[in-house]
């Protein structure tokens, strides 16, 4: 893993933590997420940034870790948020932020920690 990859993973981790904090602030309420524009917008901005950061990871790193962290799908979510914002499926996004983002957070935390202990 390159130093640039470590920096990008730390950034992705920061946005994953931010999504977790936003979920906590709103009481992990799916209904609030679907109906509170500020909640929805806040999470979508962080998803967009995760996709931007993932695009800046080295191709080698993405290829080596794709089976654990689905970078292509992560970039796809970014594209949906950026280009189809008015058409987003709130239920799908809820699943992503409550299931996929915690897994991505664990991956980034572990990978950065392992890289720094080498």
Report residues of the chain scoring pLDDT below 70.
Answer: 118
Q: Phi and psi dihedrals of 70, rounded to 5?
A: -75, 80
Number of domains in the chain: 1
Q: Phi and psi dihedrals of 67, rounded to 5?
A: -70, -20
Boundaries of domain holding 49: 3-116
Q: Phi and psi dihedrals of 114, rounded to 5?
A: -65, -40
Q: What is the pLDDT of residue 99?
A: 96
pTM over 0.85: yes
**Please, are residues 20 and 69 in contact by the beta-carbon 8 Å criterion?**
no
């Amino acid at each position: 893993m390159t130093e640039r990859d470590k920096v990008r993973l730390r950034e992705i981790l920061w946005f994953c933590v931010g999504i977790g904090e936003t979920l906590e602030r709103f009481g992990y309420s799916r209904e609030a997420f679907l109906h509170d524009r500020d909640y929805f917008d806040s999470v979508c901005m962080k998803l967009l940034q995760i996709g931007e950061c993932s695009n800046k990871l080295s191709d080698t790193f993405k290829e080596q870790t794709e089976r654990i962290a689905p970078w292509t799908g992560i970039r796809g979510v970014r594209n949906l948020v950026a280009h189809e914002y008015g058409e987003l499926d709130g239920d799908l996004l809820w699943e992503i932020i409550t299931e996929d983002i915690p897994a991505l957070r664990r991956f980034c935390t572990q990978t950065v920690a392992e890289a720094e202990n080498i």
